[in-house]
Amino acid sequence: MISDTDYTKLIRQANIPLEEKESAEIHSQLNEALGAIKVFDELDTKNVPTLNQPIEDLHNVWREDIVTPSFTQDQALSQAKHTHNGYFVVEAIFQNEDN
């Protein structure tokens, strides 16, 4: 289960504006999902070998890079709401804890 403190911190870090009723419902649903996963703690996995990846004999497939025409910087930025010195400007997602 996720504590009220941890849940509040998670919502703040995710920068998700929620009404109190929505927040309580999502917190409840998250606890329910975590409770369902907790069932796996009861399984005896001592004799189950560890697995690095779910598909055996998986290997990288390499291909040659092929240079193709692309957007110019002006074209790429043409639909942006805000730009500065050739870059996209977006709202900050991390905020100072003092704010």
Q: Which residues contact 25 (CB under 8 A, 6 or more apart)?
A: none
pLDDT over threshold 90, residue 24 = yes
Instruction: Judge whether 22 and 47 are in contact, CB under 8 Å.
Output: no
Whether the model pTM is above 0.75:
no
39-43, 79-83, 87-91: least confidently modelled range:
39-43
Predicted local distance difference test score (pLDDT) of residue 98:
60
Residue 96: predicted pLDDT = 67
The residue extents of the domains of the chain are 4-42
The reported pLDDT for the residue numbered 3 is: 93
Mean pLDDT value across residues 45-68: 83
Q: Which of 58, 4, 10 is nearest to 28 (CA)?
A: 4
For residue 78, what are the contacts with CB-CB under 8 A and spacing of at least 6?
none
Grade residue 61 by pLDDT with cuts at 50, 70 and 90.
confident
